[in-house]
Amino acid sequence: MRRQGTRAKSGSGGTSRSQELIAGTSAIVVIALLAISGYFILHSGSNIKPIVLLVGADDTGSVHTQLRQQVFGILDQTVAEALPHGSHVIFWSYDVNSHQYSDIVPNHAEDLWPTEDLIMKQHPTTYGTHPGIVLKDMLATIQTNTTLNRPVAIMLLTDGEDQDPKETVTALKSISADPDVKAVWFCGATSQNGFRSMLERRWAPILGNRLIVTGPDDAETGLNKFRMLIANSTQGN
């Protein structure tokens, strides 16, 4: 069929050549547009600013070894799949008090493992879980980074226990007042003792859409929301 079409055009040589030239030019334009679109799709992640991810790991006895392994695995997946290149990950653990560990700019999730292993070995003998303490200690780091126009996200690896919710309310109100805090993720919350529903009920009025609450088995939902919040709030800034 293509031979017949070519032969049909051959009687008007100038017109045929003009049509071929237009067709060829159109093809080049289409290819160029596809190449440009592909470039922006491949490199769209580079427009997302690095963030500072503040991680607080609940190291009390209620967070058993299996849950610790699960939530650190979710953190690793988050770093591998959602964190923009050049982002910082700053670690704390907490029980009655909070303890800051390391500030890492990971190239791979494996870069976090030495700190994760240190925290997983912690088994404090003191009684009490106070996320408000670690959130309060994170405030100074948040203020330093937002002054430098660096977006911040928080990830608490916890079953959701909280011995002093009023303390947490105070800290979260200060945190929520900062627009550069893009997400606050409570990861690992259990529903058996009502911890998860309490987290959602208490903190949604303060944090709004920035709040993420997931258990150990539905973390993919939280990861997708985290990725969206980070991308929507930092791209093009």
pLDDT at 124: 73
What tokens appear for 201 in the block? Answer: 């009920």
Helix (H, G, I), strand (E, B) or coil at 195: helix
Prediction pTM value: 0.78
CATH class for domain 49-234?
A: alpha beta
DSSP letter, residue 123: -
pLDDT at 19: 52
End-to-end Cα, the chain, rounded Å: 53
Distances (CA, A) of 21 to 4, 5, 7, 53: 19, 16, 17, 55
- Cβ neighbours for 196, distance < 8 A, ≥ 6 positions apart: 160, 189, 190, 213, 215
pLDDT at 45: 44
pLDDT at 10: 35
pLDDT at 22: 47
Query: What averages of pLDDT result for each successive group of 10 residues across the chain (237 residues)?
Result: 33 47 48 42 57 96 90 96 96 95 96 95 82 96 92 97 96 96 96 90 97 94 95 59
pLDDT at 234: 52
